[in-house]
Amino acid sequence: MLLRKLPIGIQDFPRLRQDGYLYVDKTTFVHKLATEGSVYFLSRPRRFGKSLLLSTLGAYFEGRKELFTGLAIEQLEQDWIEYPVLRLDLNAEKYDSPEALQAILNRHLEGWEHRYPGGPTDRSAAERFLGVIERAHERSGKRVVVLVDEYDKPLLSVLSNPELLPEYKDSLKAFYGVLKSSDAHLKFVLLTGVTKFGQVSVFSDLNQLTDLSTEAAFAAVCGITEDELVDAFRPELEKLADVQKLSFDGTLDEVRRMYNGYRFHPSGPSVFNPFSTLNLLRTGEFRDFWFQTGTPSFLVELLKQADTDLRDLDGIEVASPEFSDYRLDADRPLPVIYQSGYLTIQGYDPSLGLYQLGYPNAEVRNSFLNFLLPSYSGAEKGRGGFHIAKFSQELRAGDVDAFLKRLRCFFEKIPYDLNDQTERHYQVVFYLVFTLLGQFLQAELKSANGRADAVVRTDTHVFVFEFKLNGTAEQALAQIDARGYAVAWQADGHTVVKVGVEFDRQTRNLGRWLVCPA
């Protein structure tokens, strides 16, 4: 089968169309945006298609009708008017000095001033920006379109720099403030980014701005819905099914499990991560494509500063006012973790105004928890995945002693300043280990229906674990028997093994354990 061209990393709409790449048609959204409003903001995670959306809007407002042949907008748009378009891309730059931001703004301004010359260039960046907008409107006779890609990238880059952050905030506040003072000259404005920075006051100044980030009508403006996936990529999915030796439906189930699940409105459609999904179709392998393109180090610091219990993240509830408040706040990390793509909307209770958040899919859950593991266990960074694989290998071999000795080593490596000497810290490490085991084995954690602390199933065995933080290994085994934790597994043909473990408070580690057949 002749392979079709997948648009991996292609963010330029004209190139995508001219060079014959596959395109998931989002032009209905483009027409809706262009005709129903004028000043917008859109928050979406990185590598989710924001840049391509802006490029598509740019081509539309430039009147390049030939690029839209065969797409939905061809039937919706009759006029195809050309407007002056100013595109500001702040995404792929390095922000490491006071001069860096000014240099980047200056480079864009010089390009615009070359197209619309006549104004003095010795003024501030904001004044020059205003001059460009006014001259573009005057000389073209058409109001101006401004498209800003990753408006917040400079701020995110200097979050931990107390010297640069205030300077960048002041510069961008003045620069973006032009978009309000020049309203009479503007046809359309869209700013995209990961999060809002309330501290910059951009969004209080731009009080005419419409935030699309959680609107149901635009929940699928970025990402790939299941209908879009099947309609646009059926040949690639069929080839993937052949490579994976699965049925078409079985393959689709696995793609859903790994890369679907992002929801940007409670009643909106669930969408697939476009970057991971396209890379899957290209390679034929299920890997952590999206996660590997960026490390959430600053989010981990926010979680630790807020003393967030990791066990609560999957299914955590957030009040509506907090959820819609985009401010980066060390005491309230959940909104920015959601906006960054590590959590998504799982439900909403309108009577209480509560959003329920959780991991969107297996790629995010496993990669994020694996990234967190060294911060909570003392494991060497980059070695968490190795240890989890070894845990899995030991249980597959039925070697419970080796598994528990490795778990004991985990606790021995926890630095004193990480260990708060409460049960919760140990329980979080248990949670991380057993949740991550689910990548390789069938692992279940304690649930409300009275199961053991953890149950792990291999091809041949079922291991039923009970940990006693205030008791003995004998008491742990007795509880497994008394409450019938192992009974449910004895009829499925597996060898059932009971494991009772006690925790030694003096050593702050696993103490004795007992292993016996059910």
Q: How confident is the model over 340-381, as pLDDT tens digits?
A: 999 999 999 999 999 999 999 999 999 999 888 887 776 666
**For range 32-55, the mean pLDDT:** 94
Token output for 322: 């907090």
Determine, yes or no, domain membership for 368.
no
Q: Which domain holds residue 274?
A: 224-289
The first and second tokens of residue 252, run together, are 């689709």
Higher-confidence position of 296 and 193: 193
> What is the arithmetic mean of pLDDT over 35-61?
95
Q: Please check whether residues 235 and 161 belong to one and the same domain.
A: no
- Overall average pLDDT of the 47-51 stretch: 96
Cβ contact 378:418 at 8 Å: yes
> Are both 345 and 483 inside the same structural domain?
no
CATH number at residue 424: 3.40.1350
Q: Give the span between the Cα atoms of 272 and 278, in whole angstroms.
A: 10
Average pLDDT on 394-418 reads: 82
CATH of the domain at 172: 3.40.50
3-class SS letters over 341-385: CCCEEEEEECCCCEEEEECCCHHHHHHHHHHHHHHHHCCCCCCHH
Range with the poorest average pLDDT among 57-61, 164-168, 301-305: 301-305
CA 46 to chain centre: 7
* Any domain includes 7: no
As given in the structure block, the two tokens for residue 494 are 């597996």
* Confidence check: pLDDT of 415 > 70: no
344-349 β-sheet, strand order? 317-319, 354-358, 344-349
99-131 burial by CB neighbour count: b if 16+ within 10 A, else e? ebbbebbeebbeebbeebeeeeeeeebbbbbbb
272-326, pLDDT tens digit by residue? 999 999 999 999 999 999 998 888 887 887 887 777 888 888 999 999 887 766 5
Structure tokens at 497: 């093994």
pLDDT of residue 200 exceeding 90, the answer is no
Say what the pLDDT of residue 22 is: 97
Tell whether the model's pLDDT for residue 45 goes beyond 60.
yes
Verify that 152 and 251 share a domain, yes or no. no
pLDDT band at 1 (very low <50, low <70, confident <90, very high): very low
Q: How many domains does the chain have?
A: 4
The answer to whether residues 206 and 69 belong to one domain is yes
Among 83-87, 202-206, 229-233, 240-244, the minimum mean pLDDT is found in 202-206
Q: What single DSSP character describes residue 71?
A: S
Name the residue type at position 386.
Answer: F
Q: How far is CA 165 from CA 10, 125, 169, 298, in A?
A: 31, 18, 6, 15
Does residue 371 lie within any of the structural domains?
no
Per residue in 123-153, pLDDT (tens digit) is: 999 999 999 999 999 999 999 999 999 998 9
Are 83 and 228 within one domain? Answer: no
| Residues 214, 232 share a domain | no
7 is written with which tokens?
Answer: 């648009």
Question: Does residue 454 belong to any structural domain of this protein?
Answer: yes
Q: Is the dihedral of CA 345, 349, 350, 356 positive or negative?
A: negative
Q: Are residues 150 and 62 in the same domain?
A: yes
Residues 124 and 258 in one domain: no
95 and 154 housed in the same domain: yes
Q: Are strands 454-457 and 461-468 parallel, antiparallel or unpaired?
A: antiparallel
Asked if pLDDT for residue 206 goes beyond 70, the answer is: no
Are both 277 and 332 inside the same structural domain?
A: no
* Tokens at 70, concatenated: 């065969």
For strands 39-43 and 186-193, give the pairing: parallel
Are 320 and 424 in a shared domain?
no
Note the pTM of the prediction, 2 decimals.
0.90
**Structure confidence at residue 304 (pLDDT):** 78
100 and 31 in one domain? yes
